[in-house]
Amino acid sequence: MLFKKITKSITGGGLLSSAAIYGLANAVSGAVPFLLMPVFTRVLSPEAYAYITLFTVFNAIAAVLIGLSLQSAVSRFFFMYSREEMGQHVASFAILVLWNATFYMIVWIIVFPLGLRFSGFPVSWLWTTIIIGLSQTLIQFRLVLWQVSDAPLQFGIFQVVSSAGLMALSVLFVVNFSLGWQGRILAQVLISTIMAIVVLFSLLRRGWLSRQWSLRHMRAGWKFSWPLIPHSLGGIAITLSDRIFVASFVGLSEAGVYAVAVQFGMAFDMMLVSFNQAWLPWLFKRLNADDLISKRGIVGFTYLLFAGILLTAWLFALILPLFLSFLVGSKFSEAKQYLLPVLLGAAFRGLYYLVSGYVYYSGKTLALTKATVFAGITSVTLCFYGTKWAGAYGAASSYLVSNFVFFIVVWWASARVFPMPWRSPSFRFS
């Protein structure tokens, strides 16, 4: 009964709702690394695959440090200002991001020796993260404006075209031109730049990017967005720090093998994110009723989802090793030893999605930021010592423990900001 209600809420009675289009577009975009994995693992060495994985980590960090989460300010200010004023805000944010990218580049020049020694990634290629960070920030501005303007079709088409272009160029450069891991990076630089140029013309044409900007608008954007930066960096620490430590302490070859297991964990995480996109609208609607019986039913169903997600992760960890050599080739088949902790770690992240909704509903998101920062520090500490003492398996185990801690801390925080009858669930859903 509840699954039918969830499905009905996401489709809105039509063939395909806006939420479904957004979810599908994001799923296609997020699936690109997983879909490319069977190709890359057959033409690249584990070391080369590790470089691609490390580049993903540095890209994520650059996106936060360059973009400053200003797309959140664009989303919020859209409902406060006219189109002309929003154009000035977006222009001001773009100038701020450009200045910030310059500062970011100087920082990387200073830490050049440290980055090279610690991660093993060729720091001479980190300039590409600046181009991608700038491009992706501009693209995020356009995507957010489509979302708040209720234009899911344009959003979906852009995401699908961008993802298809990235896949095509990646295969062309890596397989056909034999450019190795550098081909994957160049493909992302090229497609990000092209799509950013398309977005630039779109913003100008629609009046969302003015030729006027001001420091006042910059300060407003910074004031709104800066609390989100620790949250974003904490999330990166939880989900990505393990790959850096494996590359540093164990070696690039093992980091490449470990990265294959991580890709399966990310694929499972995408499934959970997709479910969460259907779960949240239904949850918020149910919470609006402010009914104890309804809340007990939500808690009961949540507990069933807890068990179902953990069981699914365990089953995947049992089944995937049977097909791993076929999927990724013999060079990466040893990734099977990391599947159980990585998939369980992704499962606990899915449990976090289920309980974090109460924090968002309450509007007290500072609690979520504090929880993320705490879990991020815990993750880096555990992963550092875990990898140093037990190699890549220690990193995988640390990833599992970190996501478990993150889930528990956010669950505790959600219970404080929005109390629910967690000790008296109901399993009658009619």
Closest to 369 in 3D by CA, of 229, 237, 223: 229
Amino acid (one-letter) located at 426:
S
Residue 154 Cα distances to 11, 82, 147, 160, 231, angstroms: 18, 21, 9, 10, 29
Residue corresponding to tokens 């009046």: 207
Distance CA 112, CA 374 (A): 28
Question: 337-358 in b/e burial notation, b at 16+ Cβ within 10 A?
Answer: ebbbbbbbbbbbbbbbbbbbbb
DSSP class of residue 124? G
Phi, psi (deg, nearest 5) at residue 419: -60, 135
397: nearest Cα among 324, 337, 327: 337
With a cut of 90, say whether residue 123 has pLDDT above it: no
Give the model's confidence band at 112: pLDDT under 50 very low, under 70 low, under 90 confident, else very high: low
pLDDT of 228 > 90? The answer is no
Q: What is the pLDDT of residue 19?
A: 60
- List C-alpha distances in Å: 168 to 133, 172, 184, 329, 353: 21, 6, 10, 21, 32
Domain boundaries of the chain, sorted by first residue: 31-226, 253-430
Residue range 248-263: mean pLDDT, rounded: 94
Mean pLDDT of 141-151: 88
What predicted TM-score, i.e. pTM, was given to this entire model? 0.86
DSSP output for 323-369: HHHHHH-GGGGGGGGGHHHHHHHHHHHHHHHHHHHHHHHHT-THHHH
pLDDT tens, position by position, 273-297: 878 877 877 788 888 887 888 899 9
Q: Look at 24-38, 41-55, 246-260, 323-337 and tell me which has the smallest mean pLDDT.
A: 24-38
